Amino acid sequence: MVRWISEEAGEEAALLQALGIASADELFRDVPKRARVGRMGVGAAREEPEVVAEIDRLLDRNRPLGRFANFLGGRVASRYQPAAVDAIVSRSEFYTSYTPYQPEASQGMLRALFEFQSLWVELTGLDVANASLYDGATAAGEALLFCRRLHEGTKFLVPASLPWEEKSVLANYASGPGLSVVEIPYDPRTGLLDLAFVRAAVAGHDVFGVAADVPNGFGGLDEHLFELKATIGDVPLAVLADPLALTVLEPPGRYGADVVVGEGQGFGIPPSFGGPLLGLFACRKEHVRQLPGRVVGATVDAYGRPAYALTLQTREQHIRRSKATSNICTNESLMALAFVVYASVVGPKGLAALQSSLAEKARTLATALGGTDGLRAPRFEAPYLGEFTIELARGSAAAFLDRLRRRRILGGHPLGDPRPGAPAAPERILVAPASNVGDKEIARYAAAAKAWAAARGGAA
């Protein structure tokens, strides 16, 4: 195939005339205007050396994560990556593989994906998992549509504490079919779900699904999850879960979850400008035909030997067209491989020990911050694992984090919604010590936080 880049203005005009359109923009007229990005602002063409020089200048502005004491909370984790992970995923038979349509030539990747599915099934306590989705947020969006296929209604309930980024993705998923995302309030003291609100909403018979997250958006563990399924009855329950947390917590399938999704980035995938990520999705066996994406199954070949093949493929390209359960056209095979290699190398006991270590670091930091005037840590009284929320009595979260960043401390993830028009919210920060953070870094964080608070006059 030969690349073609037009250099003559007349050539573009001739193409447009042949197509019967006035401009290239008309090729995208079926895309709603509100969904278009517009011009990218790249600028005029430049010579290759100029472009390389500009890229080098931009790259010089990077500050490697390893140079900071890392306390970033949220869905993107920073953990030590065993060398074996890169060594295995970089093998050519994995690294260059695309879609395993030909099982006889793809047994290695198919088996790896089958093991990946089996691991997520074990962690969630459900029956079947798919071969991955793009990321945790879009997996949550697919869970919304999944619940709607199982139950009538127009409302999907989600915790108000859910990160604004995920709520935005859910709203996008809901907008096409005319559904709405309704936030469940939380107890201002504990941060836990308001079950009375959920009960009243479900009684209106217009809720098709209820979502909860483990841990929640404040880092807390919500004991109300064990009552949630009994509260909502036959309405599907979707749980957004952290895979590492599930190594020490009760599997959501045991307390009634119908679908469990999550972000798998923390297992063998380093943070890199927010990607690549890995979406996890599992459900009960009776709903497998509503599962988005693809499923790898185990079977035997003509000689009775173990074999693997794509068992279910529900996307639109596989004949189903309008009957497809999703327009997901692929999966994150290489990231799924990294996930299962990481889990295998670290092992069940190692994963549980890592979660316990992170929980201990979080408690040490919370204790160090305790009593700091103008800073409440943890903000909520609910139990927590490896991350918790702090709230500032005065000053902004952005200013606080900037002060710490200048001291080479990544102080956490601000919880406010930065989009124009978003309602005002308390100045809160989700804090999670990384796996390589020790007592020295925790002491530096506490000292920087106390100095910041003292400079602003302490408590409000």
Distance CA 259, CA 281 (A): 7
Long-range contacts of 86-95 (CB under 8 A, 24+ apart): 88/337, 88/341, 89/268, 89/334, 89/337, 89/338, 89/341, 94/334, 94/337, 95/334
Mean pLDDT of 168-184: 96
Q: Residue 81 has what DSSP assignment?
A: -
Q: Do strands 237-241 and 207-214 pair parallel, antiparallel, or not at all (unpaired)? A: parallel
Predicted local confidence at residue 272, as pLDDT: 82
Predicted local confidence at residue 389, as pLDDT: 97
Mean pLDDT of 365-391: 94
What is the token pair recorded at 110? 């198919």
- Check whether 120 has a pLDDT greater than 90: yes
Query: How would you classify residue 456: left for phi > 0, otherwise alpha for psi between -120 and 50, otherwise beta?
Result: alpha
What is the token pair recorded at 201? 């909403």
User: How does pLDDT run across 275-332, given as a tens digit for each residue?
Assistant: 789 999 999 999 998 999 889 999 999 999 999 998 877 554 555 566 777 777 667 8
Mean pLDDT of 259-269: 96
Enumerate the domain spans of the chain.
66-79+348-455, 83-342
Domain 66-79+348-455 part of CATH 3.90.1150.10: yes
Residues 6 or more apart in contact with residue 23 via CB below 8 angstroms: 16
Residues 6 or more apart in contact with residue 337 via CB below 8 angstroms: 88, 89, 94, 109, 112, 113, 116
Mean pLDDT of 403-417: 95
- Check whether 459 has a pLDDT greater than 80: no
- Average pLDDT of the chain to the nearest whole number: 91
Task: Provide, for the chain, the percentages of residues in helix, strand and coil under a 3-state DSSP scheme, each rounded to the nearest 5.
Answer: 40, 15, 40
Predicted local confidence at residue 415, as pLDDT: 95
DSSP 3-state of 67: helix
Distance CA 360, CA 380 (A): 18
Predicted local confidence at residue 33, as pLDDT: 84
Predicted TM-score of the model (pTM): 0.88
Predicted local confidence at residue 329, as pLDDT: 64
Query: How would you classify residue 438: left for phi > 0, otherwise alpha for psi between -120 and 50, otherwise beta?
Result: beta
Tell me the chain's radius of gyration from C-alpha atoms: 24
Helices 107-124 and 333-369: crossing angle in degrees, nearest 10, is 30
- Check whether 167 has a pLDDT greater than 70: yes
Q: Do strands 409-410 and 69-70 pair parallel, antiparallel, or not at all (unpaired)? A: parallel
DSSP 3-state of 239: strand
Q: Are 140 and 166 in contact (CB under 8 A)?
A: yes
Q: Are 191 and 216 in contact (CB under 8 A)?
A: yes
Cα distances from 296 to residues 35, 118, 223, 314, 390, in angstroms, run 34, 10, 34, 12, 43
Q: Residue 447 has what DSSP assignment?
A: H
What is the token pair recorded at 237? 């329950």
Distance CA 236, CA 260 (A): 11
Distance CA 396, CA 1 (A): 54
Predicted local confidence at residue 316, as pLDDT: 45
By mean pLDDT, which of 2-11, 153-162, 270-279 is the weakest?
2-11
Q: Residue 433 has what DSSP assignment?
A: -
Handedness of CA 125, 127, 132, 136 (dihedral sign): negative
Distance CA 120, CA 125 (A): 8
Place of tokens 């079977």: 299
Higher pLDDT, 12 or 130: 130
Which class is domain 83-342?
A: alpha beta
User: How does pLDDT run across 210-249, given as a tens digit for each residue?
Assistant: 999 999 999 999 999 999 999 999 999 999 999 999 999 9
User: How does pLDDT run across 267-290, given as a tens digit for each residue?
Assistant: 999 988 777 899 999 999 999 989
Provide the b/e sequence for 419-456 (b: ≥16 CB within 10 Å). Answer: eeeeeeeebbbbbbbbbebeeebbebbbebbbebbeeb
